Each structure stands twice: as C-alpha cells, then as structure tokens.
Amino acid sequence: MMTGPIALTDAQLAAIADLSQLIPPWRRGEYLEALALRLRGVEIGDGNLHTIAAATMREVLARARLPRWTCGGGEEG
C-alpha cells in the first residue's frame, strides 16, 4: 500500500544523509526503505527522527544478509 511522501525538513534530510554514510553503500537502499516504513504515520520531530533512524541503522546492520549471487552449481557429489 502506497501512501504519500514523508515530509522532512532540510536539516532532517541532512541528518539522515549523515547517518547513511555510516552504512556500507550496498546496504543504504535497504536502510532507507526500512527507515521510510518506520516513519510512516509518525509525527516527525528532530529527536524522534534521530532515534528511529539510529535504531533502523542498527537493525539493518545486525540483519543477516543474503548473498547477491552464488558461484558454481551449488551441489557437490
């Protein structure tokens, strides 16, 4: 279900950009998607934005990552 855009101030966008620099580039999309889901329907102030963004970052980095590809046939025999 799609909802409207999330309204953030320039300072809030800059804070998210700063935090996202701590995440490996190949995980940033995953982080931003998870953060957007968490922010939907939340009244966003600077304090709770930082709290939610930091918690989302920890969650994404702690999550096991599926390999992007596999090599070989995968079966030995």
3-state secondary structure 45-63: CHHHHHHHHHHHHHHHHHC
Q: Provide the 8-state DSSP code for 32.
A: H
The tens digit of pLDDT for each residue in 30-74 reads 999 999 999 998 888 888 999 999 999 999 989 876 555 556 555
> Has residue 17 been placed in a domain?
yes
| Structural domain harbouring 33 | 10-62
pTM here is: 0.73
User: Which burial class, exposed, middle or buried, applies to 25 when counting CB atoms under 10 A from its CB (0-12, 13-18, 19+)?
Assistant: exposed
35 contacts: CB under 8 Å, gap ≥ 6: 16, 52, 53, 56
> Has residue 22 been placed in a domain?
yes
The tens digit of pLDDT for each residue in 5-30 reads 788 899 999 999 999 999 999 999 99
> Has residue 70 been placed in a domain?
no
